[in-house]
Chain A
Amino acid sequence: MRRRAAIFFAAMVPVCAAQAAPGGTLRLTAHAIGSTLDPHIAYLQLQLQVSATVYDGLMTYPKAAGPVTGGAIPDLADVRPVPQDGGLTYVFHLRDGVRFSNGKAVDVEDVAASFRRMFKVHGPTAGSYFGVLVGADACLKDAEHCALAGGVVADPAQHTVTFHLTRPDPDFLNQLGFAQAAIVPADTPAHDMGNEAPFGTGPYRYVRYSPNGGMTLERNPYFREWSHEAQPAAYPDRIEYRFGLDEEAEVSAVENGQYDWMGDGVPLDRLGEVGRRYTDRVTISDFPNIYYLALNVNEAPFNDVRVRQALNYAVNRHAMVIHEGGEALAQPACQMLPIGLAGFEPSCAYTVGAAPDHPAHAWKAPDLDRARALVRASGTAGQTVVIVAPAGATYLAIATELRSTLESLGYVASVRGINQAVQFTYIQNSANHVQAGLTGWIADYPAPAAFVQTLFSCASFHPRSDNSINMSGFCDPAIDALMDRAGTVSMTDMPAGLALWAQADRAIMEKAPAVPLTQIRRIDFVGPRVHNVVVSPVYQLLLSQLQVR
């Protein structure tokens, strides 16, 4: 069934754009969004997708199809600023004439206040992305009285906002393009607004939200398109998003035309049916993501690099692809930088006929002999390994496959399925002594640092914390230094910087703190009433660009 679906999807082409026709009501369905509307706090994917039509930051990513290769582009800022003082100062000049959905013009004080607010509401990225701002330390200690003194300076006369950093941050502009750096009015209350959304500048505004029922968005009457690439004008007049159906029911509802798009993925058992009967309503697109098995380098047997390499050699990535729905929907992953991301250079160290010092171009087949030799050399065969996986059907199937691989290498392996809501944080905490955790990563913004540096730098490892995104507990000062250099060089010489990122990616894979498994593709299934499906690798399907017939 899955193979048939794969063959079928491979032959499909994206839905073509048709003549522009603004108007109509877009009807969407999803299981739930399960998030606050507050743009400085929300971090779940479905909410970020909606948020992209309501809010803007100083920077953003192109709201268009195709890979993002050039980094963040200006949004509320009129040009991408050039770093000054060796990367310690950025001066943004605001666009004129942009208004919030309450009619108020966006001014520089709104920008400064928005950054203070990120700290006051304990936004997830306040510390991790903007902790580099002058004054951020004080804000992280005492959020209530956060002033970001000297960090964000508004100049109403020049219509500019100047950011001062304590140290150069090569990804600063990219991070400003992430959704949580949204600009809201200065008088927005400094607490999580929950179901009451702050005013935004995008083409829509929220008019109703019930976490258990749904949400309604209407046109922002003050929106005028200032940059088609940064924030294109919307087509539908209104968006009705209803929650409550499961994936199976969502597929039936979209098939019947009761809804125009489903927010959740099409379940594997319906892929064949959808592909066979509704070919012209399906779009498959690439986006930067990696599904992998994080190996805890501080727990036996994975504290031995030979064991980590052995597992990388032994894993049958073709089987993983089948579990994800076939070759049209997933591809084998050999490295932690995803295909299509700037800095990606094909390099497969662990496949038959390859090694870290002479990687192959792509994954071919597992090399069990090599793997068994490495395990023998490590003397760890017979040890117990527990794989902690999210309790979802696909995850458990993949984990079971990995368990078989470990058993074939001589380990006593088992799978422990944990509620999906807590598995991601559970496997991060070193106190839980997780040996191997199955997970995936979709970065906040498309840049090499958001993958390899976020997931494997020493700074990302926080022992005994549920929020230690470096789940492997991997810390190699030499690789850290290489990644820092890659970032610094990228600021002035992008090609040279990207080459260094590729080098860092290879260096990490040589130490094998994880087993990259697959990179999946996104499927968007739309109803018969809509067309002009545009899928961005960052914002996914652009809701504002769907046209209702």
Chain B
Amino acid sequence: MLMTILRRLGQTLFVLTGISVLVFGVFFATPGADPTARIAGRNASPQTMAQVRHEYGFDRPLPVQYATMMKKLFVTRDLTSYVDRGEKVVPEVFKAAPVTLSLVTGAAIIWVVVSITMGTLAAALRGSWVDRGLMMLGLIGISMPVFWVGQVANLLSQSRYHDTIVFRWVPALGYVPFTESPWGWFKALVLAWITLAILFIGLYSRVLRADLIAVSGEDFMRTARAKGLSPTRVLLRHGLRTSLVTFVSLFGMDFAQLVGGGALLTEVVFGLQGVGRLTYQALTNLDLPLIMATVMYSAVFVVIANALVDMVYIVLDPRVRDGRA
């Protein structure tokens, strides 16, 4: 067990180091990316430029600069942005995290509930018009880019029909903290939740339907039916539970990458100051410290989520558990 944890930790460190070296290298290989002039300010004198270069250590070898940046990011945690010298990037990422978590959790609840309902219903009524209709809806959901859905939602709710009774309640784009107003938080996020969930509903319901149909011919399902269990019970207790293995593994990875900043487009379109939007802003400004912090944050999440998914596997699938035992 200890070895497994150590191995996992070693893998994590290796992945994080690789990603950080890559981000750092690509940044300094980009023509014109030297941040000295931007930090020193417009029309700064050569002497001021030299002082800023020295103060930030840009006159030192790249490996030393890399090591300093990593120390400031992970040890002293006082790494500051290149765009705003006073902005410490680590607190900035942690300040943005609750926004992303609110967005992704809400969307996840919607997509899990709706896709399980849709997938199960479609599998139970396989071949019927309900099945075909639901799967077609799912396909439409997958096909619509999230930024387009978001912009259309905004166009309708904020612009064209904002003054109608249907959308009058929609507040200005942006985030309202739950602690400030739970109702305001809900109103500010509900359209973003739906927008983000649409793609995943389509994807997950189709995956679940396919899995449910695949397991319906398995021996254990036949046995359950032979025992005289009702079709609903067979589908939900035996079929659905087994089919959820793929569902959970997908969910773990998707949820993690969204919490890590993957909901970037939704956050940008809805003006939510989450980790994704922070990443977008950092990339727009070519702000290396902020890029590094958000990428590392995202990478850590994905690695941790991977480990968590492995553990949930064990609970859900007896074969995995027995195999390990």
Interface residues of chain A, those whose CB is within 8 Å of chain B, are: 29, 32, 34-38, 41, 43, 122-128, 131, 140-141, 143, 192-196, 210-213, 242-246, 249, 252-253, 255-256, 258-259, 418-426, 428-429, 432, 444, 454, 460, 462, 465-467, 469
Checking B31, B154, B272 against A252 with a beta-carbon cut-off of 8 angstroms, the contacting residue is B154
Q: Lowest 6 A-B CB distances belong to which pairs?
A: A194-B86, A124-B41, A127-B45, A426-B32, A466-B37, A258-B172
Which residues on the B side are within 8 Å of A128 (C-beta)? 43-45, 48
Q: Is the CB of B38 within 8 A of A131?
A: no
Q: Is the CB of B83 within 8 A of A34?
A: yes
- Shortest distance between the CB of B241 and any CB in chain A (Å): 42
Which residues on the B side are within 8 Å of A253 (C-beta)? 158, 172-173
Is B284 among interface residues, defined by CB-CB distance under 8 A? Answer: yes
Is B95 among interface residues, defined by CB-CB distance under 8 A? Answer: yes
Is B286 among interface residues, defined by CB-CB distance under 8 A? Answer: yes
Q: Is the CB of B43 within 8 A of A192?
A: no
Q: Is the CB of A246 within 8 A of B40?
A: no
Residues of B183-236 whose CB lies within 8 A of A: none
Consensus secondary structure, chain B interface: loop
Is B23 among interface residues, defined by CB-CB distance under 8 A? Answer: no
- Shortest distance between the CB of B285 and any CB in chain A (Å): 5
Which residues on the B side are within 8 Å of A425 (C-beta)? 32, 34, 37-38
Which residues on the B side are within 8 Å of A252 (C-beta)? 154, 158-159, 162
Nearest CB in chain A to that of B172: its residue: A258
Is B55 among interface residues, defined by CB-CB distance under 8 A? Answer: yes
Is B243 among interface residues, defined by CB-CB distance under 8 A? Answer: no
Nearest CB in chain B to that of A469: its residue: B43
Is B106 among interface residues, defined by CB-CB distance under 8 A? Answer: no
Q: Is the CB of A245 within 8 A of B40?
A: no
With the chains together, A454 CA to B45 CA distance in Å?
12
User: What is the interface residue range for chain B against chain A?
Assistant: 35 or more
Is B115 among interface residues, defined by CB-CB distance under 8 A? Answer: no
Most buried by A among B38, B81, B159, B277: B159
With the chains together, A423 CA to B38 CA distance in Å?
11
Is B268 among interface residues, defined by CB-CB distance under 8 A? Answer: yes
Q: Given the interface contacts A143-B51, A428-B37, does A194 sit within 8 Å of B85 by beta carbon?
A: yes
Pairs A–B under 8 Å by Cβ, sample size 13: A34-B285, A36-B87, A126-B45, A244-B277, A246-B271, A255-B159, A426-B31, A428-B37, A432-B31, A465-B49, A466-B37, A467-B40, A467-B42
Encode contact with A along B22-41: 1 for CB under 8 Å, 0 otherwise. Answer: 00000000111110111011
- Shortest distance between the CB of A104 and any CB in chain B (Å): 23
Q: Given the interface contacts A43-B42, A244-B272, A466-B37, does A422 sit within 8 Å of B174 by beta carbon?
A: no
Nearest CB in chain B to that of A253: its residue: B172
Is B105 among interface residues, defined by CB-CB distance under 8 A? Answer: no
With the chains together, A242 CA to B176 CA distance in Å?
11
Q: Is the CB of A242 within 8 A of B174?
A: yes
